Amino acid sequence: MSIHQSERSLFVFCLLLLLFCVKPSKMPAQMNWTEIDVQAEAILKTMSLKQKVGQTCQITVEGILRFNPDGTLPLPLQVNGEELSEAVQTYKVGSILNAPGRALPRTEWLKLIQAIHAPYVKKEIDIPILYGVDAIHGANYVLGATLFPQEIGLAATFNVDLARQFGEVTAVETRSSGVPWNFSPVLDLGRQPLWSRFFETLGEDPKLASVLGASIVKGYQGDLNQSKLGPDRVLACMKHFVGYSASASGRDRTPAIVSPRDLTELYLVPFKSAVEAGALTVMINSASLNGMPGHINSHLITDVLKNKWGFKGFAVTDWEDILFLDRVHQVAASHKDAIAMAINAGIDLSMVPLNPQYKEYCRLLEELVLEGGVPMARLDDAVKRILRVKLAAGLFDVPSKKNKTVPITLQSESAVLAAKQAVSESLTLLKNEHSVLPLKPNSSILVLGQAAADRRFWNGAWTHTWQGRDSSYFSTDISLLKEWQQRAQTQQGKVDYLVGSSWSESTGIPNEGAGLTPQNQKSIESADVCVVFVSEWPGTEKPGDEENPFVTQNQMDLVHELKAAGKRVVVVLMLGRPKLLGSILDDADAIVHAYLPGEHFTQPFLDKIYGSADFSGRLPFTYPRYPGRWEHYDHANSETIAKDNSGNGYNPLFDFGFGLSYATWSVDASSISADTLRSADTVWLEVRLRHNADRPCQVTVPVFGSRRNLPIAQRGKYLIDFQKKWVPQGNSALFRFPLSVSQFEFSDYNGNWTQARGPIRLDVFNSTLNVYLEP
Ligand code: BGC
Ligand code: BGC
């Protein structure tokens, strides 16, 4: 039996998948566990203590590869056979992770995974190795894969089907490189604008993040109503459970303080929804929540996630996080103590992941079990969970010999179409004065900013490398400026480019004095409109920490100089977190938020700014105005009181859900099917929307609810539901929202969901409806 054969069958499946361009469908998400449980039990019974311990250990791939003396990675990759067999045969390690510092051609990935799978195929080990990577916005470690917008851009689409398509494409391209497990989606809420991983979130709202997050999970894992993941799917990993993004300082992996009520109503919600969608693995928050490091929080991991929600998969630590209990959080007296605390709290797999630390981990865990510091029953439970997931992923299966090799195409037509659609629906128009947009086809355009010409700024971190700062892996055939020039020339227009503002390669801080020079004056004078790309240096986790909440001064100055020169200025934001705009807000005539759009930015962007397509993206977060205030649309009523005691003290730059379009929309009619909402009832809220454009237009309709006179102060309003639709030319469309009692539960002081009778106000655009809740 050879691994090639499994890949052949995989290729056939993948090809079929792409040919039929899988359509999203509503399928039950639960796996048939009975059969899997029986198999996992049977395997567990045959295992020695060493084998069980090894199953809970994950190492990084760097430890089993040979590197050049200068630290670079040779291609083709060279697996270090002794290190591999020491890990998987001697220590019985059950899982390996990571890209070896860089993206690889798909063929290299396949060879690597084949080499790692070989000891199982050759029956040198009994249990196959589970390999995981971070495929965060597409298979970003496979060269030539389809790179989508980062999650924050995906969230701006408010499009559930697109989220699923993103998941499907990412799954196909990841699995086609041999990797069955993806450390994604991030389900942390983006409510702290300083946090370096804001762009990895689906925005600030629990409802939006839940719906889109669950959809991504279904895209990754497919229909689970069988006993196995399809060969074109990957295991999802919900992360980072829970509260990671709420860091008070905004710095990565620093403490969060979240009330029980906010935990219930906000931060836990997307995880619960992903569990219901069938997500099979979870990664734990590296930081502390309310003083307790995520990795020892048995209440959240064991009581809530596993017992209350019925999560059947396994919990993996984040990078080195058991060691950090001792070294960083200092809650454990030793490495051994830390292991006991984490495993007993409900950790199933430890991303140790370095060598020789993993050997110590295995030795110490074995000791702990023998001494009773970790009960055998807990170890058995951890191993059983891991075995279940390995069985569910089909890792034990003998590859079929029937299928012929059919090479899979990365960036297939349908994959690229989905990525372009995601970009198209994410682009959010925040300001448009003097009708500067759409640009006239024959105008003379001056484009400025390093990000216009440097695709690292389109993609952000988790692109080819961890921090996404290495440009050498990008293919050379995508150029915004070239396509823009071609497009303009056909209409007697003109496009020029000046860098204007740039970043230092060595420090990632803005280059001083790189602004406009006297020699540039001619280009500026001859331009009708200047389009300035405002960006941030790519980064994530600690390297992405940032002290300055503002867009850099040099970029503000550039926009200001152009404005002072009497130019019309369009600003394109390529930002992963909502940086304060300072003077840009007034200096720019138009502002387009592009988030981190990925590789397929050019065409959708040009379509929007020339007006051949309309904008439909909406902000998935509240855009802050002041450096001393992080505001959220779902704030308490008391936050609306201003300095002079009048309202509205809540004053963000742009509200959650904000986004302009060229078409004008109006509410034709709205209604509610009953005055009272009772348990077991469904009441229908209906809204008819009309636009004035002479082409079909897409619109997102959010429904916000608000309540008062309840035993705990309520959020002013919060998102109840949303729908996105195409509305035909010059026409109207009916949006129908089912309302049920469960949508109006709220958390009490202690974090328990509760229900109470009373009035509910519902807002859809400028139309308000009322219903009385009688649960
Ligand atoms: C990150 C995770 C990631 C893991 C594996 C950690 O440092 O926090 O999000 O999945 O490394 O690369
Ligand atoms: C991983 C990151 C991790 C980092 C730690 C990288 O290779 O992919 O997720 O946090 O190493 O140094």
| pLDDT tens, residue by residue, 327-348 | 999 999 999 999 999 999 999 9
Evaluate if residue 102 carries a pLDDT over 60: yes
Q: What H or E segment, with its residue span, contains residue 672?
A: strand 665-672
User: Dihedral sign, CA of 345, 351, 357, 362?
Assistant: positive
Task: Out of 234, 318, 462, give the residue to mutate to test ligand 1, the one with the largest number of ligand atoms within 8 Å of its CB.
Answer: 318
Contact of 554 with 510, CB cutoff 8 Å: yes
Q: Name beta bridge partners: 767.
A: 764
**What pLDDT, on a 0 to 100 scale, did the predictor assign at position 405?**
41
Ligand nearest to the CA of residue 136, numbered in listed order? 1
Whether 467 is in the pocket of ligand 2, judged by its Cβ within 6 Å, is no
**What pLDDT, on a 0 to 100 scale, did the predictor assign at position 519?**
81
**What pLDDT, on a 0 to 100 scale, did the predictor assign at position 518?**
81
Whether 465 is in the pocket of ligand 2, judged by its Cβ within 6 Å, is no
Distance, in Å, from the CA atom of 232 to the CA atom of 628, rounded to the nearest integer, reads 47
**What pLDDT, on a 0 to 100 scale, did the predictor assign at position 123?**
95
**What pLDDT, on a 0 to 100 scale, did the predictor assign at position 406?**
47
**What pLDDT, on a 0 to 100 scale, did the predictor assign at position 297?**
98
Distance, in Å, from the CA atom of 254 to the CA atom of 301, rounded to the nearest integer, reads 19
| pLDDT tens, residue by residue, 192-228 | 999 999 999 999 999 999 999 999 999 999 987 677 8
Cα–Cα distance list, 775 to 114, 240, 719, 737, 743 (Å): 57, 34, 20, 19, 11
To the nearest whole number, what is the mean pLDDT of the chain? 93
In this prediction, residues 416-434 reach a mean pLDDT of 98
**What pLDDT, on a 0 to 100 scale, did the predictor assign at position 397?**
86
In this prediction, residues 612-638 reach a mean pLDDT of 96
Task: Out of 254, 283, 467, give the residue to mutate to test ligand 1, the one with the largest number of ligand atoms within 8 Å of its CB.
Answer: 283
Distance, in Å, from the CA atom of 775 to the CA atom of 744, rounded to the nearest integer, reads 10
Q: Hey, whose CA ends up nearest to atom 6 of ligand 1?
A: 319
452 Cβ neighbours under 8 A, 6+ residues apart: 480, 481, 497, 531, 533, 572
Evaluate if residue 270 carries a pLDDT over 60: yes
Whether 62 is in the pocket of ligand 1, judged by its Cβ within 6 Å, is no
Q: Hey, whose CA ends up nearest to atom 2 of ligand 1?
A: 318
Q: Ligand 1 mean position to 541 CA, how many Å?
A: 9
Apex CA 64: angle with CA 61 and CA 65, to 5°?
90
Contact of 285 with 243, CB cutoff 8 Å: yes
Radius of gyration, alpha carbons of the chain: 26
In this prediction, residues 258-270 reach a mean pLDDT of 98
Q: What H or E segment, with its residue span, contains residue 369?
A: helix 357-371
In this prediction, residues 95-115 reach a mean pLDDT of 96
| pLDDT tens, residue by residue, 435-478 | 999 999 999 999 999 999 999 999 999 999 999 999 999 988 77
Question: Edge-to-edge strand order for the sheet containing 428-432?
Answer: 428-432, 590-593, 568-574, 529-535, 444-448, 494-498
Share of the chain above pLDDT 70, in %: 94
User: Dihedral sign, CA of 55, 58, 61, 67?
Assistant: negative
Distance, in Å, from the CA atom of 171 to the CA atom of 181, rounded to the nearest integer, reads 9
Q: Ligand 2 mean position to 734 CA, how many Å?
A: 48
| pLDDT tens, residue by residue, 116-132 | 999 999 999 999 999 99
Evaluate if residue 350 carries a pLDDT over 80: yes
Q: Ligand 1 mean position to 319 CA, how many Å?
A: 6
Q: Which of these ranges, 470-484, 683-697, 746-760, has the smallest mean pLDDT?
A: 470-484
Ligand nearest to the CA of residue 286, numbered in listed order? 1
Task: Out of 59, 466, 467, 470, give the residue to mutate to test ligand 2, the one with the largest number of ligand atoms within 8 Å of its CB.
Answer: 466
**What pLDDT, on a 0 to 100 scale, did the predictor assign at position 403?**
44
**What pLDDT, on a 0 to 100 scale, did the predictor assign at position 183?**
99
Whether 102 is in the pocket of ligand 2, judged by its Cβ within 6 Å, is no
Distance, in Å, from the CA atom of 51 to the CA atom of 366, rounded to the nearest integer, reads 10
Distance, in Å, from the CA atom of 89 to the CA atom of 124, rounded to the nearest integer, reads 7
Task: Out of 97, 102, 134, 187, give the residue to mutate to test ligand 1, the one with the largest number of ligand atoms within 8 Å of its CB.
Answer: 134
Q: Which of these ranges, 35-49, 280-294, 362-376, 497-511, has the smallest mean pLDDT?
A: 497-511
Q: Ligand 2 mean position to 100 CA, how many Å?
A: 10
**What pLDDT, on a 0 to 100 scale, did the predictor assign at position 514?**
61
Whether 541 is in the pocket of ligand 2, judged by its Cβ within 6 Å, is yes
Q: Ligand 1 mean position to 133 CA, how many Å?
A: 9
Q: Ligand 2 mean position to 134 CA, how many Å?
A: 10
Evaluate if residue 619 carries a pLDDT over 80: yes
Q: Ligand 2 mean position to 465 CA, how many Å?
A: 10
| pLDDT tens, residue by residue, 129-179 | 999 999 999 999 999 999 999 999 999 999 999 999 999 999 999 999 999
What count of residues does the chain have?
A: 775
**What pLDDT, on a 0 to 100 scale, did the predictor assign at position 223?**
80
Q: Ligand 2 mean position to 663 CA, how many Å?
A: 45
Q: Hey, whose CA ends up nearest to atom 11 of ligand 1?
A: 319
Q: Ligand 2 mean position to 419 CA, how many Å?
A: 26
Whether 239 is in the pocket of ligand 1, judged by its Cβ within 6 Å, is yes
**What pLDDT, on a 0 to 100 scale, did the predictor assign at position 657?**
98
User: Dihedral sign, CA of 501, 502, 504, 507?
Assistant: positive
Whether 196 is in the pocket of ligand 2, judged by its Cβ within 6 Å, is no
Q: Which of these ranges, 29-38, 382-391, 450-459, has the smallest mean pLDDT?
A: 29-38
Q: Hey, whose CA ends up nearest to atom 10 of ligand 2?
A: 319
Q: What H or E segment, with its residue span, contains residue 481?
A: helix 480-489
Question: Edge-to-edge strand order for the sheet containing 314-316?
Answer: 237-241, 281-284, 314-316
| pLDDT tens, residue by residue, 654-693 | 999 999 999 999 999 999 999 999 998 899 999 999 999 9
| pLDDT tens, residue by residue, 540-550 | 999 999 999 99
**What pLDDT, on a 0 to 100 scale, did the predictor assign at position 654?**
98
In this prediction, residues 615-628 reach a mean pLDDT of 97
Evaluate if residue 512 carries a pLDDT over 90: no
- In ligand 2, the atom with minimum distance to the C-alpha of 101 is 7
Q: Hey, whose CA ends up nearest to atom 11 of ligand 2?
A: 466
* Cis? peptide before 24, omega within 30° of 0: no
**What pLDDT, on a 0 to 100 scale, did the predictor assign at position 681?**
85
Evaluate if residue 233 carries a pLDDT over 50: yes
In this prediction, residues 351-380 reach a mean pLDDT of 98
Going by C-alpha positions, the residue among 150, 200, 161 that lies closest to residue 456 is 150
Torsions phi, psi for 292 (to 5 deg): -105, 120
Distance, in Å, from the CA atom of 375 to the CA atom of 106, rounded to the nearest integer, reads 42
Whether 654 is in the pocket of ligand 2, judged by its Cβ within 6 Å, is no
Whether 466 is in the pocket of ligand 2, judged by its Cβ within 6 Å, is yes
- In ligand 1, the atom with minimum distance to the C-alpha of 253 is 8
Other Cβ atoms within 10 Å of 541 Cβ, number: 17
CA trace torsion 255, 258, 260, 262 (10° rounding) = -150
